[in-house]
Amino acid sequence: MNPIDAFSQTLKINPNAARLISAGLGVMAAAAIIISWGSNLDDLRLGAIYVLAFACVVTLLAFIARNNTMTTVLSWILVAGFGMFVLGLVGSVLRVPPSLPPTPCYLRLFFELPETCIQNLRNSENDLRIGSAAPVLPAADGGPERLWRAQEGAIPTPTDHTGEIFVQYTQPFAQADAVELSEALAELAWQVQDWKSGGEQVNEGPDTNEVRYFKDGDREAAISLAQTIHGLHPDTPIYVRDFTRLGAFSKAGRLELWLSQPLDPSA
């Protein structure tokens, strides 16, 4: 019995339909592997394991099928589930809907929660804190050392960064404060998405105010954004977080601003 006949028998469909579905599943399996490869070698292995597991289960069901209705139902559920998984994988690349986790964490949904995965894949060695204890850093071009602009008391100046800034805030951070900050950043030429509404309120987020960057080349822009925010609200520290491990499919220039702590706690 060839694979097409086995598939036809398992799903109780004619051979032509079996060929069509097999071709579609093959394309989806290839898409899963290609997407995983585009993310990271570890993700490629994980994507390949999923495809191999699916193929093994389908083969097993084909050999044990004896025109059993339950086997047919399980086979269709498996086929539909694999298709939905790959569609979700594509959606995680495109971030449609935005609630889908980044691709590496989408691949790990069966092992850990997205929030845990995101924190585990953060490069904590590059964390920076901008606040009263902020360090002295060398200039980007290797010039003399410079203090944070916020610590020097400099007034934030308009930026030439053209990437998108996405704002997310969680309680107890108020929407009114998110709107005020987003408007201030927009006035300084930062490309804040949905700045009139203050970005998006989410249920889960970090315990600190932080700027996340996803490309190595956006590190300086992330630092500059954090400095600007600290210059506007110097009473609250803000962190810069390296999430380049999650940025394989992110657009260059994309930054995320996560807000959870009031910017003026003494107010």
User: Where along the chain do the CATH 3.30.70.2390 domains lie?
Assistant: 128-259
Give the integer Cα–Cα distance in Å for 108 and 65: 31
Residue 96 tokens read as 């449609």
Q: Given this model, what pLDDT does residue 67 score? A: 61
User: pLDDT 10s per residue in the chain (267 long)?
Assistant: 566 776 677 777 777 877 777 787 888 888 888 877 777 888 888 888 888 888 788 777 777 766 677 777 888 888 888 889 988 988 888 878 877 888 899 999 988 998 899 989 999 999 999 875 444 444 444 433 333 444 444 567 888 899 999 999 998 899 999 999 999 999 999 999 989 999 999 888 888 999 999 999 999 999 999 999 998 888 888 999 999 998 888 889 999 999 999 887 554
CA torsion through residues 261, 178, 251, 215, sign: negative
Q: Given this model, what pLDDT does residue 22 score? A: 78
Give the integer Cα–Cα distance in Å for 112 and 91: 19
Give the integer Cα–Cα distance in Å for 260 and 174: 9
**Amino acid in the structure at residue 181:** L
**Got the DSSP string for 70-91?**
HHHHHHHHHHHHHHHHHHHHHH
pTM for the full predicted model: 0.74
**Amino acid in the structure at residue 4:** I
Nearest to 31 by CA among 75, 88, 77: 88
User: Helices in the chain by DSSP H: which ranges?
Assistant: 3-11, 15-39, 41-64, 69-94, 103-106, 114-120, 149-152, 175-187, 219-232
Q: Are 232 and 260 in contact (CB under 8 A)?
A: no
Nearest to 63 by CA among 45, 75, 78: 75
Per CATH, which fold does 128-259 belong to? Answer: Alpha-Beta Plaits (3.30.70)
Q: Is the bond leading into 97 cis (omega within 30 degrees of zero)?
A: yes
